[in-house]
Chains A and B, each alone.
Chain A
Amino acid sequence: MAFTVVYLTAIVLVPLLTLPAKSFADGWGYFWQTVVDPRVVASYRLTVGASFVAALVNGVLGFVVAWVLVRYRFPGRRVIDAMIDLPFALPTAVAGITLTSLYAPTGWFGQYLEPYGIQGVYSPLGITIALIFIGLPFVVRTLQPVIADLDVELEEVATSLGASRWQVVFRVILPYLYPAWLIGFGMAFARAIGEYGSVVFIAGNMPMRTEIASLLIVTKLTQYDYVGAAAVAFVLLILSFILLLTLNALQGWSARRLGY
């Protein structure tokens, strides 16, 4: 008990408390000046925007993947099911260099994008691709158990009452899955906001254009602007906190809704 508290305090609490302390070390003025700097604002906008788009793509395709894995039978299903967690297990730096090489103009995928003038790397698109990769398991893994738990009898009842398959899917199944889907989406979004390793290679890191917030922190750090780095990090931390709290609230809501 005492060990738990001491360990947590030493490893988590004290280190995190240095952030607000450091952010305001040079006063409110400097903090505010850093945070509203156009370059910083651009990085926040890019981070949140790309994370949102990536989470949305994962929301749609992750739903299809979860549905197919639970409901349909095809060869290789179990191997594929186990592979879903690869983005969790693969170090982010490895994911980063791999995706960058694949989507570079000469890469396996990039060569097909180039003729159309689409830039797969060093662009917001590249950042989104990396974020789709690392967020992929979240929606799939939150939906799978809920889809497996779906009461087939409900579908039978709806069908026997004359509902078409379309109606069953949209009126019976989707409303039931919605809370879990939202949680999976939220987790993918939250994870993408703080992501660094997989994005830093593919982003190209051009200020104002392809510089994400966590990279900006590292840049400020290497320029010995510790207070600036802390300020950017503090805002990022608050953002993830809000997301974490929202997710917890969603969790409670969905538990009530599903009647656990």
Chain B
Amino acid sequence: MERTAAGVLTMSAPTLRPPPRPGLTEPAAVRVLLTSVALLFLVAFLFVPLAFIFVEALRQGWGAYVAAINEPGARAAIWLTLLVAALTVPANALFGLTAAWAVTKFDFRGKRLLTTLIDLPFAVSPVVAGLVFVQLFGRRGWFGPWLFEHDIKIIFALPGIVLATIFVSFPFVARELIAVMEASGREEEEAAGLLGANGWQTFMRVTLPNIKWALLSGVILCTARALGEFGAVSVVSGRIRGETTTVPIHVEILYNEYAFQASFAVASLLAVVAVVTLVLQTVVERRSRQTGAGAAEAAVQA
């Protein structure tokens, strides 16, 4: 069983099994009651809110919807968010790969400490994540005076937003990969090494094919988080309109200005990203289970 939020997200759905025989399940009335309670809860807490975003966004028609998204502030926010994700995701994917490689294929002192550190951002409030960067790079932070002298802006500017986003989104890839690489063991890599493959060949031909679905799933989760991070970014962003407002911050600003329809219109973009994330996750999970089952079958036949 996985330990953290990201792990939970990727936990595979239970395999299908035939419904239990009568006598081994609850009476029909109890079944109906339990199902209704579950569905009512999910409808009230998941489906209605999701639908509400789109209803509210489209309440004044398509024209107003498009106008809210096409307005310069919103466009700048969309570009900034995409830029932040484009910088964050590759960095974290690379880190995730090396971290998982180090943790699962080698033994060294302090390994537990390393894995705990990788998990840490999940346990830290996003606001605290933003705060620590302000303390490092803010005007009165540790490096603040030096940065000010050299006219480098990190807080209330792009680098700060990227740093905060990296902080909150980096465990996703690492965690996914560690789980899979731990399960697959080291034998295949060791065999490749004995057969004369160098490190790079081993990685490209042996490790990567084994972990590609986990890597993809980690990247999807990391991207979703990078596009939608609010708490950490709101602390370091400074909310300079058109310059340091990401899409979630833009949503907040519009909402606080009582521009509800515009706010929900922009928010609906993030809702679409969320739904796409869920769909992709489901597809990746299914594919990885198929290939997993295929590999097991091949192994049995061999």
Q: Which of A94, A148, A244 has the most CB of B within 10 A?
A: A94
Q: Select from chain B the residue with minimum beta-carbon distance to A17.
A: B132
Q: Select from chain B the residue with minimum beta-carbon distance to A196.
A: B231
Q: A61-B41, A193-B125 are in contact. Are A144 and B14 (CB under 8 A)?
A: yes
- Min CB gap B290→A, angstroms: 16
Q: Which of A7, A197, A226 has the most CB of B within 10 A?
A: A197
Within 8 Å of chain A (Cβ to Cβ): is B196? no
Q: A159-B24, A240-B124 are in contact. Are A85 and B45 (CB under 8 A)?
A: no
A234-259: contact bitstring with B at CB < 8 Å (1 yes, 0 no)?
Answer: 00110011011001100100100000
Q: A1-B106, A4-B98, A68-B38 are in contact. Are A226 and B140 (CB under 8 A)?
A: yes
Contacts of B117 in A (CB 8 A): 8, 12-13
Asked if A141 contacts B53 (CB within 8 A), the reply is no
Q: How many residues of B contact A (CB 8 A)?
A: 97
Contacts of B25 in A (CB 8 A): 71, 165
Contacts of A59 in B (CB 8 A): none
- Min CB gap B185→A, angstroms: 16
Asked if A91 contacts B125 (CB within 8 A), the reply is no
Interface size class for chain A? 35 or more
Contacts of B281 in A (CB 8 A): 82, 85
Contacts of A161 in B (CB 8 A): none
Asked if A85 contacts B251 (CB within 8 A), the reply is no
Within 8 Å of chain B (Cβ to Cβ): is A46? no
Asked if B132 contacts A16 (CB within 8 A), the reply is yes
Within 8 Å of chain A (Cβ to Cβ): is B133? yes
Asked if B46 contacts A91 (CB within 8 A), the reply is no
CA–CA, A17 and B246, complex, Å: 27
CA–CA, A73 and B37, complex, Å: 15
CA–CA, A230 and B4, complex, Å: 25
B13-38: contact bitstring with A at CB < 8 Å (1 yes, 0 no)?
Answer: 11101011001111100010011011
Interface residues of B in 229-276 (CB under 8 A from A): 229-231, 234-235, 248-249, 251-252, 255, 260, 263-264, 267, 270-271, 273-275
Within 8 Å of chain A (Cβ to Cβ): is B47? yes
CA–CA, A230 and B138, complex, Å: 13
Asked if A3 contacts B123 (CB within 8 A), the reply is no
Q: A97-B255, A98-B49, A142-B8 are in contact. Are A91 and B274 (CB under 8 A)?
A: yes
Asked if A61 contacts B49 (CB within 8 A), the reply is no
Contacts of B118 in A (CB 8 A): 8
Asked if B56 contacts A101 (CB within 8 A), the reply is yes
Contacts of A180 in B (CB 8 A): 1
- Min CB gap A221→B, angstroms: 7
A1-21: contact bitstring with B at CB < 8 Å (1 yes, 0 no)?
Answer: 101110110011111101100
CA–CA, A40 and B41, complex, Å: 33
Asked if A233 contacts B34 (CB within 8 A), the reply is no
Q: Select from chain B the residue with minimum beta-carbon distance to A76.
A: B39
Q: Select from chain B the residue with minimum beta-carbon distance to A191.
A: B5
Where chain B touches its partner, the secondary structure class is helix
Q: Select from chain A the residue with minimum beta-carbon distance to B163.
A: A11
Within 8 Å of chain B (Cβ to Cβ): is A127? no
Contacts of B138 in A (CB 8 A): 226
Asked if B128 contacts A61 (CB within 8 A), the reply is no
Q: Which of A213, A215, A218 has the most CB of B within 10 A?
A: A218
Asked if B167 contacts A248 (CB within 8 A), the reply is no
Asked if A237 contacts B14 (CB within 8 A), the reply is no
Interface residues of A in 71-88 (CB under 8 A from B): 71-74, 78, 80-88
Contacts of B248 in A (CB 8 A): 91-94, 197
Interface residues of B in 164-219 (CB under 8 A from A): 166-167, 170
Asked if B14 contacts A145 (CB within 8 A), the reply is yes
Asked if A88 contacts B9 (CB within 8 A), the reply is yes
CA–CA, A147 and B14, complex, Å: 9
Asked if B9 contacts A194 (CB within 8 A), the reply is no
Within 8 Å of chain A (Cβ to Cβ): is B99? yes
- Min CB gap A53→B, angstroms: 15
- Min CB gap A213→B, angstroms: 8
Asked if A18 contacts B136 (CB within 8 A), the reply is yes
Within 8 Å of chain B (Cβ to Cβ): is A67? yes
Within 8 Å of chain A (Cβ to Cβ): is B114? yes
Asked if A4 contacts B114 (CB within 8 A), the reply is yes
Can you list 23 contacts pairing A with B, beta carbon distance less than 8 Å?
A: A1-B98, A5-B114, A8-B99, A16-B120, A18-B136, A65-B42, A86-B274, A86-B275, A90-B271, A90-B274, A91-B251, A94-B53, A95-B49, A133-B49, A141-B8, A180-B1, A196-B127, A197-B126, A217-B128, A218-B127, A230-B131, A236-B125, A244-B123
Question: Which positions in B face A, CB cutoff 8 Å?
Answer: 1, 3-5, 8-9, 11-15, 17, 19-20, 23-27, 31, 34-35, 37-39, 41-42, 44-50, 52-53, 56, 95, 98-99, 102, 106, 108, 114, 117-121, 123-129, 131-136, 138, 140-142, 163, 166-167, 170, 224, 227-231, 234-235, 248-249, 251-252, 255, 260, 263-264, 267, 270-271, 273-275, 277-279, 281-282
* Additional 18 contacts, C-beta under 8 A, given A88-B9, A108-B48: A4-B98, A12-B121, A68-B38, A86-B275, A86-B278, A93-B267, A98-B49, A108-B52, A133-B49, A145-B11, A159-B23, A183-B1, A194-B124, A196-B126, A213-B125, A226-B140, A240-B124, A244-B119
